[in-house]
A and B are shown apart, each in its own frame.
Chain A
């Protein structure tokens, strides 16, 4: 058992931190030296170092975005940009640190279900500490590893796609990630291979004042399919942490990628993530995006429908409790003809929580026979909560059918009355209604995640009435 694993067998509870056992960390704050130190520590090729330093320049030049959530609380000089935990990456369940096993249990994934995952990856702070993939998939040529390994062992595929969907100068936080990225998943599915059960990654911030900047790159070759699931948590520290990931998906002709996220960061994490997919001819990309945790989330999974007949789906659910701001949404950019997209967003605000749906639909002039549907519903649970909707639609093609509908309302007194008159207490009735409200989202999750999500919601809803 590694040093880390022994350390981590101490009591672990969700929301409490493990002993900090990092063996290497950069200085607080960001400078070209820190960027170079990360690259050097990872023994990266020259092009990646240049990529990082270029990204660092973009990061310095770009102003902070002012149009979304309040980000004034982030102190970029007070963050560790790279923290490497002790212990090597392990490949056997027995070697997995007990704490991670416990965490999986906390997530409610029973042992039996766990066996049915095609592959699992777990990232602690900046590095992936556990990684496994089923042998049969590996034999078919499926690659599932952390991004650093991807760069080292599959340099050609990696370099061909890395940074092509989200260039380093895309936005301020993509630039930051590009400069200091570490860990994340690299998935490659060869042509025709259908990975029929999900690949899973699990991300955790353990160190205080830590920034986690994982990078995920998924490539599905022609006619292949894959479902990737990620979960995120962090312990509660008194000071804030920053999570700023970049996720790039490429779905080639007739391929299908589904990307599911259940984000349950502790409520002192700024979660500023850029997620974007390219869907080629007749490909399908689905983002299933659940935001329950964090202090502030800004995340708008995007799909660029580049090939004829491509289809995009975004299913978003957000819950903002006291002090939280979930600024989430979706973007579908229709470049090619006969493309379709569907966006469904459900959000709930409670206490001083605030949910914002921010969406962008764009149809380019040559994209004819396009169909788009957007549906946003928000529930406000009390007088202090707030909900906003900012959908942007730019249509430059005459041959489109676009519908957008949004509603904001409170939990219906009639619904509560109907349930309480049948002997269900008011708290439970509200929780039932909330569960029903999230139903379109929950039903798309694998069963174990659905069970867990309902449980998390029930916890969040405790004491929300009265």
Chain B
């Protein structure tokens, strides 16, 4: 029975059948993991803006999980639009579509020939259980209720494995989607890079333009081996009524390097954790992102740069523009362990507030327990500088165009860190659409 009554401690009934079915069809460690996750989820209260510091500025009391069902199958027009998008940015990339009813994979032959595994996570559990188990070990079963729910509920998903000393010749584009009002989806990307390998990855979360209320509980886990390199892109372009809760976690071994770029454009409410754990000496992470909030969007980014080994370096830069009644929440932590001497870490969050009613909160935190470090953060909030506007208008540019140029220039500074040029160009054109006032929460479908 689905219960939607107020005061229900958890929304367990909504996914009870799905979870029990998955537990029953799993074996061994995965069965144990799913069972433990489900038990934890049903025992845990949902996060509350009254109680939990992480959720203090992001209110999900209106998210009634019990009213959701598992996603309807996505139709071919949406898949075609996804394909077109990949073609626009990186035509050579292998494509993984992680959406109901099942994961499909296209154009992965070249990678397979090099020994690289690109498959659904379900299939990987059957064919490479040890590899999947190793990768999943990076995330606790019950770190939070959403992680517990994900662990119990993920199904199709994407799995990518790059063997030792292999460079993936083309990117892998993983599109996560869902369809149907009150549809829930549990996007999964699990990546394992062996020592000295490299991969360019795109995680693309999207749905059709429209008011369908979706719930996305997403996880990306990437374990990057010694001297290996991961370029990771995260695009979020869900439709305007979507709840998107996500954890993107990368663990770096010795001298491993992450370049991550995120673009947050869609959803009604997002809470995304961007986490990098620098576990090996010499590891490096460069994280950047842009977010554009519009109408009543609530975009929450929470970052963690955890320095747990000496001589590690991390940089994070998030640039946010908000207009209408949008609200941006950024909180971040640089956490330096006692043994992580010679850490060099910096985080910056710059906010541009474009209208009355739009707000930006910023909480960049530092917790430092080693002494031989260089750590810092910078946070700013401001509006369009009248001098800049005047300068452009004095050259015959209209006020509207001047403002667009200024906002674009503000975001461009972060976009320059996007590792893949094609992806950067796609994001740039989406930002242009947003500035023109076009709908970019969700993608427009053309077709029959």
A interface, CB within 8 angstroms of B:
67, 363, 365, 378, 380-383, 385-410
Q: Are B354 and A380 in contact (CB under 8 A)?
A: no
**Known pairs A378-B368, A394-B359; A409 contacts B374 (CB<8 A):** yes
Mark each residue of chain B from 367 to 399: 1 if its CB lies under 8 Å from any CB of chain A, else 0. Answer: 111111111111111110000000000000000
Q: Are A383 and B338 in contact (CB under 8 A)?
A: yes
Give chain B nearest CB distance to A81 CB in angstroms.
Answer: 31
Q: How far is the CA of A400 from the CA of B322 in the complex (A)?
A: 14
Q: Are A395 and B366 in contact (CB under 8 A)?
A: no
In the complex, the 9 A-B pairs of residues with the closest C-beta atoms, listed nearest first: A380-B371, A389-B366, A398-B353, A407-B376, A404-B379, A393-B362, A395-B381, A402-B381, A396-B359
B356 near A: Cβ within 8 Å?
A: yes
Q: Are A391 and B363 in contact (CB under 8 A)?
A: yes
Q: Are B382 and A401 in contact (CB under 8 A)?
A: yes
> Can you list 19 A-B pairs with a CB-CB distance of less than 8 A?
A67-B53, A380-B371, A380-B373, A382-B371, A385-B371, A387-B366, A389-B366, A391-B365, A393-B363, A394-B361, A395-B351, A395-B381, A398-B358, A400-B353, A400-B383, A402-B380, A403-B380, A407-B375, A408-B376
Q: Are B365 and A388 in contact (CB under 8 A)?
A: yes
**Known pairs A378-B368, A389-B366, A408-B368; A403 contacts B378 (CB<8 A):** yes
Give chain A nearest CB distance to B34 CB in angstroms.
Answer: 33
For A402, the chain B residues whose CB sits under 8 A away are 379-382
B364 near A: Cβ within 8 Å?
A: yes
Closest to B380 in A: A403
A388-B368, A396-B359 given; 12 more Cβ-contact pairs under 8 Å = A67-B53, A380-B373, A383-B370, A393-B361, A395-B353, A395-B359, A398-B355, A400-B383, A403-B380, A406-B364, A408-B368, A408-B376
B357 near A: Cβ within 8 Å?
A: yes
For B361, the chain A residues whose CB sits under 8 A away are 392-395
Closest to B322 in A: A398
For A385, the chain B residues whose CB sits under 8 A away are 371
Mark each residue of chain B from 205 to 232: 1 if its CB lies under 8 Å from any CB of chain A, else 0. Answer: 0000000000000000000000000000
Q: How far is the CA of A405 from the CA of B346 in the complex (A)?
A: 10
What is the total number of residues of chain B having a CB less than 8 Å from a CB of chain A? Answer: 35
Give chain B nearest CB distance to A447 CB in angstroms.
Answer: 33
B360 near A: Cβ within 8 Å?
A: yes
**Known pairs A381-B371, A410-B372; A404 contacts B353 (CB<8 A):** no
Q: Are B368 and A387 in contact (CB under 8 A)?
A: yes
For A396, the chain B residues whose CB sits under 8 A away are 359
Interface-centre pick from B53, B338, B371 (highest chain A CB count, 10 A): B371
Q: Are B369 and A386 in contact (CB under 8 A)?
A: yes
Q: Are A365 and B356 in contact (CB under 8 A)?
A: yes
Q: How far is the CA of A395 from the CA of B349 in the complex (A)?
A: 13
Give chain B nearest CB distance to A64 CB in angstroms.
Answer: 15
Closest to A374 in B: B379
Mark each residue of chain B from 303 to 315: 1 if its CB lies under 8 Å from any CB of chain A, else 0. Answer: 0000000000000
Q: Are A404 and B351 in contact (CB under 8 A)?
A: no
For A400, the chain B residues whose CB sits under 8 A away are 353, 381-383
Checking A365, A389, A393 against B381 with a beta-carbon cut-off of 8 angstroms, the contacting residue is: A393
Q: Are B368 and A386 in contact (CB under 8 A)?
A: yes
Checking B354, B363, B373 against A409 with a beta-carbon cut-off of 8 angstroms, the contacting residue is: B373
For A383, the chain B residues whose CB sits under 8 A away are 338, 341, 370-372
Q: How far is the CA of A378 from the CA of B374 in the complex (A)?
A: 10
Give chain A nearest CB distance to B390 CB in angstroms.
Answer: 16
Q: How far is the CA of A407 from the CA of B341 in the complex (A)?
A: 16
Give chain B nearest CB distance to A67 CB in angstroms.
Answer: 7
Q: Are A389 and B365 in contact (CB under 8 A)?
A: yes
Q: How far is the CA of A404 from the CA of B330 in the complex (A)?
A: 14
Checking B356, B369, B372 against A398 with a beta-carbon cut-off of 8 angstroms, the contacting residue is: B356
Checking A363, A393, A403, A406 against B366 with a beta-carbon cut-off of 8 angstroms, the contacting residue is: A406
For B363, the chain A residues whose CB sits under 8 A away are 390-393
Q: How far is the CA of A363 from the CA of B351 in the complex (A)?
A: 14
Closest to B330 in A: A393
Closest to A395 in B: B381
Closest to A369 in B: B383
